[in-house]
């Protein structure tokens, strides 16, 4: 069996220089090397599955991610399923809503524990949403405008994959009030998330049931791939939290992006340094193919 190892740097650093490529090639005992993006990404062909940590140590390389894939798998995927909070955007929406009522620290602590798998996601979501009771619905637009920013590389991933015929879906444990807007901005073809319940223009402190959690994301993967007449192996998924683990492990390529420690430890591919364009390099896209 043979493997492709993709080395990926953060585009802002572009620190995958020629010398680093050569050291990695030697450490991997690579029989072939192909630069995907100068200073940013390169593929290495090898006949043995490498120990990523050992390779980085042996080659004295830092701030570079290594993604290992078998060559008998189709790299370019026909479906993208992406988490939203701390993945397609840089914030957690519920934390930013809580900031409007002076409870961001309290809610952020619960969010962090839920995303690291320390507490059950559904119960944690109900607890956090209850703290938002009485918040005017109009605050959501204010939060999106003032507090939410896209994760670098996200629009490029969606544009590039759509250009090559892929279906892109935003699947979030957050809220439809946010996913609808982010999906429109970034270019996702569909979105799924939870519903914040409101009455008389204010949030009730309740979330629509059933809650879209870990299993619901796996169900979304299966639903969407079945509808499109493809396999979950034809999908690439990306997320950072414990509620993403199911879909990351059930898809052909699951990518833990700047993930919580427990999630990164259980993921075959983790991106700790690169941005979302890493998803394209993992699929073998070159810099010239990326739609900017």
Catalytic residue among 47, 51, 72, 85: 85
Q: Could you give the 3-state DSSP secondary structure of residue 18? A: helix
* Cross-strand bridge partners of residue 191: 170
Catalytic residue among 43, 83, 177, 240: 83
Q: Where are the beta strands (DSSP E) in the chain?
A: 3-9, 32-37, 41-46, 64-70, 79-82, 167-175, 190-194, 196-199, 202-207, 235-239, 253-257, 269-271
Query: Contacts by 180-187 with C-beta closer than 8 Å and gap 24+?
Result: 181/144, 182/84, 182/88, 182/89, 182/148, 182/150, 185/150, 185/155, 186/88, 186/150, 186/154, 186/155, 186/158, 187/155, 187/158, 187/159, 187/162
Q: Does residue 85 carry a catalytic annotation?
A: yes
Q: Does residue 83 carry a catalytic annotation?
A: yes
**Which residues are designated catalytic?**
83, 85
């Amino acid at each position: 069996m043979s493997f492709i190892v993709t080395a990926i740097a953060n585009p802002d650093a572009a620190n995958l220089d020629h010398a680093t490529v050569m050291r990695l090639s030697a450490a991997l005992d690579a029989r072939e090397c192909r630069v995907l993006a100068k200073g940013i990404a390169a593929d290495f062909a090898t006949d043995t599955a490498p120990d990523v940590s050992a390779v980085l140590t042996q080659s004295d390389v830092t701030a570079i991610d290594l993604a290992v894939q078998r060559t008998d798998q189709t790299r370019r995927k026909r479906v993208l399923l992406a988490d939203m909070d701390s993945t397609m955007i840089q914030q957690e929406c519920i934390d930013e809503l809580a900031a409007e009522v002076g409870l961001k620290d309290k809610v952020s602590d619960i969010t962090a524990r839920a995303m690291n798998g320390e507490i059950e996601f559904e119960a944690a979501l109900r607890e956090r949403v209850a703290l938002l009771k009485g918040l005017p619905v109009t605050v959501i637009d204010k939060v999106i405008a003032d507090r939410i920013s896209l994760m670098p590389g996200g629009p490029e991933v969606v544009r590039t994959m759509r250009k090559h015929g892929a279906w892109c879906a935003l699947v979030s444990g957050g809220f439809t009030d946010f996913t609808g807007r982010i999906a429109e901005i970034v270019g996702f073809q569909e979105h799924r998330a939870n519903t914040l319940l409101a009455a008389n223009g204010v949030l009730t402190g309740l979330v629509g049931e059933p809650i879209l959690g870990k299993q619901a994301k796996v169900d979304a993967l299966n639903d969407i791939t079945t509808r499109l007449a493809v396999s979950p192996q034809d999908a690439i998924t990306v997320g950072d939290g414990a509620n993403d683990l199911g879909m990351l492990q059930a898809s052909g390529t699951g990518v833990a992006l700047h993930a919580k420690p427990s999630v990164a430890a259980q993921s075959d591919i983790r991106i700790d340094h690169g941005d979302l364009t890493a998803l394209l390099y993992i699929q073998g896209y070159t810099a010239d193919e990326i739609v900017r």
